[in-house]
Amino acid sequence: MRTKSVSTWLLLWVGLAMAGAACAQEGNAEAGREKAATCLGCHGVPTYSNVYPTYHVPKLGGQHAQYIVSALKAYKAGKRGHSTMHAQAATLSEQDMVDIAAYFASVPRD
């Protein structure tokens, strides 16, 4: 009996954890499209370049949503050094991040 109740709790806990993880990943591409207006000021201009050092602003169309969220979090936490992206990411909530990521991920790839 004791074993059973422990396993029941364990199952419930695992189930809740999975549901929580699934919720956290859920982004709304349509909402993200609107929230991405600022992003597109740089990421939406083909051939647009960063300066000092000079390199192209990366393409995001067709990128994995999960990766975009982790990159945004790293910019926010200062684990990626880029002052503009740090400032941008700092203003975003977790929901903003997943929505924006869902939008870029929804763009058809080549």
Partner 1 sequence: MLRTSITIMLLAVSLGVAHAGDPAAGKDKSQACAACHGKTGNSKNPMYPRLAGQYEDYLFQALKQYKSGKRQNAIMKGQVANLSTKDMADLAAYYASQKGLVNTTP
Name which position in 2, 22, 52, 81 contacts partner 1 (CB under 8 A). Answer: 81
Q: Quote the CA–CA distance of 7 and 41 in Å, as a whole number.
A: 52
User: CB of 72: closest distance to partner 1 in angstroms?
Assistant: 12
Is residue 98 within 8 A of residue 69, CB to CB? The reply is yes
| Cβ atoms within 10 Å, residue 36 | 21
Is residue 97 within 8 A of residue 31, CB to CB? The reply is no
Report the site for partner 1 in 60-79 (rule: CB under 8 A).
60-67, 70-71, 74, 79
Q: Quote the CA–CA distance of 18 and 27 in Å, as a whole number.
A: 16
User: CB of 16: closest distance to partner 1 in angstroms?
Assistant: 22
Q: For the window 33-62, what string marks contact with partner 1 as x by the rule CB under 8 A?
A: ----x--x--xxxx------xxxxxxxxxx
Binding site for partner 1 (CB under 8 A): 37, 40, 43-46, 53-67, 70-71, 74, 79-81, 104, 107-110
